[in-house]
Every structure is written in structure tokens, then in C-alpha cells.
Amino acid sequence: MSVLSSGGMALVKLMRDMPRGPRREGVFALWLTLRVVEDGFLQPPPPERAIRRRVVALEQRFSSLTLPGPLRRALTAALADLREPKREQAGLVLQQLVAPAREVLGAEAADAVGKAARTAGQRARGE
């Protein structure tokens, strides 16, 4: 079982405070994506097969969410990157979600994802 990162906690708090609707579902989708990316850093690392199954499950979950267009497109691109899991790409996958998150969900969501992206990048480099 993994512990929530500070970016994950920020997204959970934002979800809690947001009214139901597409914006809240967008924050939920970001949180789910963040969890899949961060789980790639578990020790010992999960098998690639397990990660691929999580990405397929994530894609299925996204299909039932009402997401704003820019965020849906960004998450679709992130899914494509996550299908071939590479730890070095983790920060980049999350970084590509920052601008759409800012546009659709606001600065707080974008800042949480940006912080998670920086952390993932540092972990991928072994810092």
C-alpha cells in the first residue's frame, strides 16, 4: 500500500471542497493518473504487466467521467505515454497535465500536479 504524496493529498482536499460536476471529476481523474504514475516508484517496483493493467483500468474509468475537453485530451495523451511505463517519463507525463489543469480546474489543481511532476522527475533521476 502506498502513501499519498503531497500532490495527491492536495488533489484529495481540492476534490473534497469542490461541488459535484465535471470539474470535480477532472480533479478525480488527475488524482487517479497521479496514483498510477507514483505507483511506478514503489519498492520493489510492480511488474510491467501490473502497471499495464492499471493503465487499462484507468482508461476504462475515464470513459465514465464527464471531463472538460482540454483535460480529456491531455489525459488521453498521458494514457498513451503510460502504456509503455518508463520511470524517466513520469515527470513529463504529469508536467503535460499542468496547463490543461490550470485552464480547466484552476491554479490550485495545476500547482498540485506541477509539484507532483517535479517530485516524480527527481525520483526518476534518483535524487
| pLDDT confidence of residue 1 | 43
Per-residue pLDDT of the chain (127 residues; tens, 9 = 90+): 456 688 889 999 999 999 999 999 999 999 999 999 888 777 787 888 888 899 999 999 999 999 999 999 999 999 998 887 677 788 889 999 999 999 999 999 999 999 999 888 888 777 6
Indicate if the alpha-carbon torsion angle 106, 111, 12, 25 is positive or negative: positive
Q: Where are the domains of the chain?
A: 6-125
How far apart CA 67 and CA 4 sit, in angstroms, is 23
How far apart CA 127 and CA 55 sit, in angstroms, is 26
